[in-house]
Structure 1
Amino acid sequence: MREHNSTRLDYLDAARSFALIQGIIFHASLSFMPIFIGWAVMDISTNERVPLFMLVSHSFRMALFFLVAGFFSHMTFQKLGLSGFLKSRLLRVGVPLVIGWFLLRPLLVSGWIMGAESMRGEVHIGNALLEGLKRLGQLPNEFLIGTHLWFLYYLLLVCVTALLLHYLIRVHTPTKAKVTPLLDSAINWLCHSRFAILVLCLPTAASLWFMDHWGIDTPDKTLIPDIPVTLLYCVFFLFGWLLQRQSSLIDGFVSLSWSKFILCIIAVAVTITLSGFETSRGHPQYIWLKMCFVVNYAIMMWTLVALTLGLCKRVFKGPNQFVRYISDSSYWLYLIHLPLVIWLQIAFAELPSYWLIKLLCISTITIFVSILVYDGLVRSTFIGAVLNGKRKPRILFKVSKQQYRTTTL
C-alpha cells in the first residue's frame, strides 16, 4: 500500500491500480474455463482462450503489485522510520487482513456452497450464509483457504524480510561499507543494461522451478509460508525497495523499447506453447521442457512488469485526479471483490449468453458496486483512513453543508 505525500508518482499509482483491477477480471474469468478446475461454479458458456488469458495475467499482476509495494514501502520507511513503518504496515495491511477475513469469509464460503448447489439445479441462500457463519469457528484453521487475502499475509512477510536484511547489513559496519555500494551499482546497471531482464529472470526462474505447478502457486492453504512463493515475491519487492533508494533509476527500468516488446512477445508465445506439456510427465524431455518453460515464464513476468510501468508512465505523465481516485479506491475494490464476483458468477452461470458478455457484466457490476460503496461508506470514514492513510472527501456522493441544511429543514 502506498503512503501519500506531497509528491505523488501518478503512473505508479496507475500501475498498482491496474494490477489490482486486473485481479478482479482474473477471478471473474475463472467460471468460464473450458474444464472444471474446482472453482465455485462453472458457467454453461466457456471458451478455450480463457486459460491463455489466465496464464499471462496471473504471471505478472501480483509481481507488479509487489514491486510497486516495495518502492512505496522504502519511501514510507525513509519518511517514518522503523516504528512508524511498522505501525503503518500493521494498520494498513494487518488490520484489513484480520477484519477482512471475518467479514468476507462467511460470504465466500456461502458462495462456494451456492455454486455447488447451482450446478445441481438448486440454490439455498439462507442455509449457505448460515453455514458460512459457522465456519468462523474454525479459526485459525483454514484461515487463508478460500480467500484472496493471502496477498496481505505475504506482503507482511516480505516487509519483515526487507527490514531484517536492511538491519543485518546496517549493524555490521564493514558489511555495510561493502554491500551498500555493491547493491547501488547493481541496481544502476540493471536499470540501464539491455540484459537486465535476462539477469533478473534467473532468481525468478529458480523460484518457479520449485512450485507445485507450472507457473505461480496460490499460497492459500496454510499460514506456513510457501518458500518458493515467498522468495519469488521477495525478489520483486526488494527490487522495488532498492529502486526507491535511487529513485531516478526507475526511468531506465521502465523505458519502452522495441527489444522489450519483441522479447515479451517471444516469451509469451513460448510459455503458452510449453504450458501444454505440464501434464506430460512421461515425456522423455520433460525436465528440459519445464526448464525452458520457467525461464520463459520469468522473462514474460519481468517484461510485462517493465512494459506496464513504462506504458503507465507514458500515458499518465502528470497529476491526474481520476487516476488518484481510482488508485485510492483500488485497494478497497480488491479487498471486497471476490464475494461479489462469485455471487454474480452464480447468477449468470445458467444464462444463455456469450461468455465474454457475461465476463464484462460481472467485472463491471463488481467494480461499479464496489466504487459506490467505497465513495459512500468508506472514503470519508475511519475505514478510508486505514486503507488510504487519511480520510478523503466523497466525490460521487458529495453533499455540501449548505445542501445538507436545506434538506434537513
Structure 2
Amino acid sequence: MDTYTPHNTRQDYLDAVRAFALLLGIVFHACLSFLPVYIGWAVMDISTSTVVGVFALVSHSFRMALFFLLAGFFSHMSYHRKGGAVFLKSRLLRIALPFVLGWILLRPLLVFAWVMGAQSMRGDVSLWPALQEGASSMLAASQTLLTGTHLWFLYYLLLVTLSVLCVRALTVRFQPAYRLLSKSLDAALAWLCHSSLVVLALAVPTAGCMWLMGQWGLDTPDKSLVPHWPVYCIYGGCFTLGWLMHRQSDLIPAFSRLSWQKLLVALTAIVVTILTSPYERQPGHPHIVYIALAFKFSYSVMMWSLIALMIGLFRHYLDRPNKVIRYLADASYWLYLIHLPIVIWLQIAFAEVSWHWGIKWALVFGIAIGLSLVLYDLCVRSTFIGATLNGQRKNRSLFAVG
C-alpha cells in the first residue's frame, strides 16, 4: 500500500494551470513566423520583432515542463482513484489512441502546410503539388514518424507514464524496502518543497540534462521514435515530481508559494538567459563554455521559477469553481491536438500582409483558438471523441440545443 495523504477532490486552479500550459503552446506556435531569425519554421512573416524572440525563449522554457508536472500529479490521483488496471486502460485511450489517430489525420495536413509555407516564401504557391506531397507523407519511413508534428508530447507522456508504472510495480514487490523508500522520498520532497532553495535545487539536474542537448535551450524531440534521453529525463522528472507531490496535500501549495524572493530569482534568471542567448551563434567566442554554462543554469532556474510562480498565481486568483475556466480546461486537450495546421495556414495567409506583427500574431492565435473551440463544441464535447479525451461526454455549451 502507498503511504500518502489522499486529496482526490477537484482542484480547480490546477485544471486552469493545465489549460493555460496548453493554450500557451498555441500562442507559442503562432509566434514562430514572426521571429527575426529564420529557424526552419513553415513560413517567415514580412513583419518580425525581437520581442517575439524573447517571448518564444521564455515561454518555451516552462510550458511543456509545467504540463508534464501536472500530468504526473493528476495521474497519481487517477491511479489511486481508479486502480492500476483501469488507469492503464484510460491512459492508453487518452494518450496512445489520440497519438495514433492524430498522426494519421494531422500529419498530411501539416506536411501540406509546410510545403505551402515554403512555396509562399519563394513566391510560387501551387496548391495541388502541396496536397499530393501531404498525402504521400503517409508512406514515410518510421524514422520520420514524428517529424513535422507536435504530437511528440503524447509519445513522451506515454513513455514516462509506462516508466513510472514499471518502476512502481518492481519496487512494490519488496514491501519493507518500498515502505522505507516511500517514507524517505516523502520526507525529502517535503523538505525540498518547503525550502526557499527548491528552485535552485531542481535547476541543477535540469541544467545537467540541458548540457547534453543539441542546442542551448530545450530541444524539441520530434525527429525520431528513439527517445531523446536528456528531454526524456527532464519531462520524466517533471512528471515524477508531480506524481510524488500528490502523495502529500501540502506540497503543491508549499512549492508554489508566492514571494518577492521567488519573483526576483525568476526575473534575474530571465535577464541572464536573454543576455547570454545571442552567444549561441558565436561558437568561436573565447569564453563560450562559461557563457553556455551560465545560460543553461539560468534557463533551468527560469523554468522552475516560472512553473512555481504560475501555479502560485493560479492558486491565489482562481482557486474556485468557474464555468468558463472549467470549459476551457475540458477543451484545452482538443485545442492543442488540432491547432497546428490551422495556425500554419493562418500564418501563410497573413505572411505577406503589410500589417504590424502584433496584430497578425493576435489574429493567428485568436482565430485558431476560436475555430478549434467551435469544432470542439459542435463535434467533440458531446461525442465519443469528447468521452475519450475528457473521460466522459458533456453537453454542448456554445451551441446548446433545446
Q: TM-score range by the shorter chain?
A: over 0.9
Deviation for aligned residue 1:139: 4.9
Tell me the distance in 2 between the aligned counterparts of 1:367 and 1:125: 25
Query: Please, which of 100, 103, 121 is the counterpart of residue 119 of structure 1?
Result: 121
Amino acid corresponding to residue 267 of structure 1 in structure 2: A
Name the structure 2 match of 1:66. 68
Query: Please, which of 234, 240, 243 is the counterpart of residue 242 of structure 2?
Result: 240
Q: Does the Cα contact within 8 Å between 2:112 and 2:134 map onto a contact in 1? A: yes
User: Bigger shift: 316-325 or 286-295?
Assistant: 286-295
Tell me the distance in 1 between the aligned counterparts of 2:193 and 2:143: 43
- Does the residue aligned with 1:350 lie in a helix, a strand or coil? coil
User: Bigger shift: 282-291 or 182-191?
Assistant: 282-291
Residue-by-residue CA offset, 1:192-240 (whole Å, 9 max, x unaligned)? 1111111111111111111110010000000000000000101111110
Amino acid corresponding to residue 11 of structure 1 in structure 2: Y
Tell me the distance in 1 between the aligned counterparts of 2:274 and 2:170: 41
1:179 aligns with 2:189: no
Tell me the distance in 1 between the aligned counterparts of 2:236 and 2:177: 21
Name the structure 1 match of 2:3. none
Q: For structure 1, which runs of at least 5 residues remain unmatched after alignment?
A: 401-409
Q: For structure 2, which runs of at least 5 residues remain unmatched after alignment?
A: 1-6
Tell me the distance in 2 between the aligned counterparts of 1:10 and 1:211: 35
Name the structure 1 match of 2:35. 33
- Does the residue aligned with 1:392 lie in a helix, a strand or coil? coil
Deviation for aligned residue 1:6: 7.8
1:21 aligns with 2:33: no
- Does the residue aligned with 2:280 lie in a helix, a strand or coil? coil
Residue-by-residue CA offset, 1:136-158 (whole Å, 9 max, x unaligned)? 01253411000000000000011
1:301 aligns with 2:303: yes
Amino acid corresponding to residue 368 of structure 1 in structure 2: G
Alignment coverage as a number of residue pairs: 396
Name the structure 2 match of 1:203. 205
Deviation for aligned residue 1:294: 1.2
1:324 aligns with 2:326: yes
Residue-by-residue CA offset, 1:295-324 (whole Å, 9 max, x unaligned)? 111110000000000001111121111111
Deviation for aligned residue 1:79: 1.3
Name the structure 1 match of 2:385. 383
- Does the residue aligned with 2:154 lie in a helix, a strand or coil? helix
TM-score by length of 1: 0.95
Tell me the distance in 2 between the aligned counterparts of 1:166 and 1:48: 46
TM-score by length of 2: 0.96
- Does the residue aligned with 1:11 lie in a helix, a strand or coil? helix
User: Bigger shift: 165-174 or 315-324?
Assistant: 165-174
Residue-by-residue CA offset, 1:119-150 (whole Å, 9 max, x unaligned)? 12232223312221111012534110000000
Where in structure 2 are the equivalents of 1:137-148 lying within 5 Å?
A: 137-148=139-150
Tell me the distance in 2 between the aligned counterparts of 1:343 and 1:279: 30
Query: Please, which of 59, 62, 80 is the counterpart of residue 57 of structure 1?
Result: 59
User: Bigger shift: 72-81 or 212-221?
Assistant: 72-81
- Measured on the aligned residues, the alpha-carbon RMSD in Å equals 1.3
Tell me the distance in 1 between the aligned counterparts of 2:172 and 2:292: 39
